[in-house]
Structure 1
Amino acid sequence: METLQVGRATLTWLNGGVTHLDGGAMFGVVPKPLWSRKYPSNEKNQIELRTDPILLQIDGKKFLIDSGIGNQKLNEKQMKNFGVHEESSIDSSLNELGFGTEDIDAVLMTHLHFDHACGLSKWQDGKLVPTFENAKIFTSSTEWNEMKNPNIRSANTYWESNWKPVEHQVQTYEEAVEIADGLHMIHTGGHSDGHSVIRFEDGEELFIHMADIMPTNAHQNELWVLAYDDFPVTSVHQKQDWMKYGYQKQAWYTFYHDAYYRALQFNEEGEVIQKVERER
């Protein structure tokens, strides 16, 4: 498992499973000859997208960023359509580190699309129960409201099986919330109306988790947004703001979906100065 130290925070990437989604959808209006130079596709035009939660250890607390694809949460057709060749093994990842699901203090949900939220619940004795039994689950109030009341389009990604078993654990916020000293979730909108980013700042050290506003290293370009985005212009503006902010501070940018890089650090010109590669 890959790790990164940013100030007081230790980041460790867990094994949350994998999807393979259409490359054209993941890069919107960007022509394939451009995006394929930065991120490869298979013969079906699909690109590999990890669903790997990040374990944050800060001041004795343990937080997860998102929850993985879960286990036995998708039917056979969904497994095929979404290219799920591997499901979550978060239990094993935590056990290797000497922890269990009961040790997670909070799960920080950037948004609640199925590929981020399936891991919140698991099957036990024929019913769905919380995966992280002692954790608070943080998400924006906008995202939570849509999760429970999806529209005709979002019903395909906001599933009752992912929210009903954990409803009692959820804590919502409006614009921002401080989870721990220096660790904030900020509501951005864009990819979904309730989408949030995560920022941790400790002195001069900083990481920013852009979630699905910048799901892979190949999405660094401010104009390269997803066809899946509900509000693509908002995604562009938010990316502009957060890249400008992070470049000035030489921030680390961390990834949940990237199959090749766990994190990249950029200088003031947006050039990569350090990287954490995924062990493949």
Structure 2
Amino acid sequence: MLKIGDFKIHPLQGGITQMDGGAMFGVVPKPLWSKKYPLNEKNQIPLVTHPILITTRDNNILIDAGIGNGKLTDKQRRNFGTTYESDLDKSLNQFDLTVDDIDIILMSHMHFDHACGLTTSDGQSVFKNATIYTSQIEWNELRAPNIRSKSTYWEENYKNIEHQVVTFVDKIEIIPGITMEHTGGHSAGHSVIEIENGAEKAVHMADILPTFAHLNPLWVTAYDDYPMDSINAKERLLQKYIKNNYWFIFYHDVNYFALRMDNVTREVKEEIRRDDLIEV
């Protein structure tokens, strides 16, 4: 668990993918990225898809929704290396919560590996009592994907939750201390989430910093629709967050749930590893 003031932050069990390492590190040569992140004999790297639960005095909030359950075909499970899917019911039960207790969901973007968990295998809303926030650009892209993005924006991930969705343009304060800011880059509507309470701060940079191994601003994925926007946003935001001692929270990193970096060396100075958490 990570505490940001009075906010408690936990990862939930949202499934896993094994994506092509070359695609996840773009133009970076394998001899470089393979030193920083594990891979298998198929050149795939493990990427958990673990939603982030934030509990406050008044709200139960999720950041992103996991890979879902029963949403992938056999071919998709094979191609995406999905060896297990979401088990949010069991994860939430550890905190005496159910999916009906989630009242806010913050979607950094709506790619399938973040959004499948929003609906059931037959397309019904999983989080019936939640308001779902995403950027207006992302919502538009989701409902009218282009020839490139239609492979990751799926109708079944939004069709029956439209009445729950609230969109924003540039930046929105969800509750005091939690804001979403549009960055673009990985997708046209991609956003980051900032969390601040008391003297502590954290950020979820989502897929412009999918793992700590992507710390170099130039190391962006081949899945990024607008890579220069990712590079510019990552370079700008990393300077701000590291200088101001933010915790970085990860959805995909198989090693780290959260960490803080030294302002000079950018090496890890505090960490919460996945292996140390009983919630995962």
Shorter-chain TM-score: what band?
over 0.9
RMSD: 1.0
Runs of 4+ in 1 over 2 A off after TM superposition: none
In the other structure, the counterpart of 2:119 is 121
Alignment partner of 1:242 is 2:240:
no
Question: Displacement of 1:209 after TM fit?
Answer: 0.4
> Which digits, 9 at most, give the CA deviation of each residue in 1:206-240, with x for residues without a partner?
10100000001101111111111001011011011
Question: Displacement of 1:128 after TM fit?
Answer: 2.1
In the other structure, the counterpart of 1:81 is 79
Is the Cα–Cα contact under 8 Å of residues 204 and 249 in structure 1 kept in the other structure? no
In the other structure, the counterpart of 1:110 is 108
In the other structure, the counterpart of 1:32 is 30
After TM superposition, the score normalised by the length of structure 2 is 0.96
Aligned residue among 140, 143, 157 for 2:138: 143
Number of aligned residues: 275
Is the Cα–Cα contact under 8 Å of residues 105 and 136 in structure 1 kept in the other structure? yes
Question: Displacement of 1:8 after TM fit?
Answer: 2.2
For 1:34 and 1:184, locate their aligned partners in 2 and report how far apart those are by CA, in whole Å.
35
| Residues 159-238 of structure 1 mapped to structure 2, 5 A cutoff | 159-238=154-233
For 1:271 and 1:43, locate their aligned partners in 2 and report how far apart those are by CA, in whole Å.
29
> Which digits, 9 at most, give the CA deviation of each residue in 1:110-139, with x for residues without a partner?
00000000000014xxx3211111000000
| Structure 1: segments with no counterpart, 5+ residues | none
For 1:8 and 1:231, locate their aligned partners in 2 and report how far apart those are by CA, in whole Å.
36
Is the Cα–Cα contact under 8 Å of residues 4 and 198 in structure 2 kept in the other structure? no
Is the Cα–Cα contact under 8 Å of residues 261 and 277 in structure 1 kept in the other structure? yes
| Structure 2: segments with no counterpart, 5+ residues | none
In the other structure, the counterpart of 1:255 is 250
Aligned residue among 5, 9, 12 for 1:11: 9
Aligned residue among 256, 262, 265 for 2:260: 265
> Which digits, 9 at most, give the CA deviation of each residue in 1:58-80, with x for residues without a partner?
23211000000001101111111
> Which digits, 9 at most, give the CA deviation of each residue in 1:223-280, with x for residues without a partner?
1111110010110110111110011111100100011110111121222110000028
In the other structure, the counterpart of 1:90 is 88
Question: Displacement of 1:6 after TM fit?
Answer: 1.3
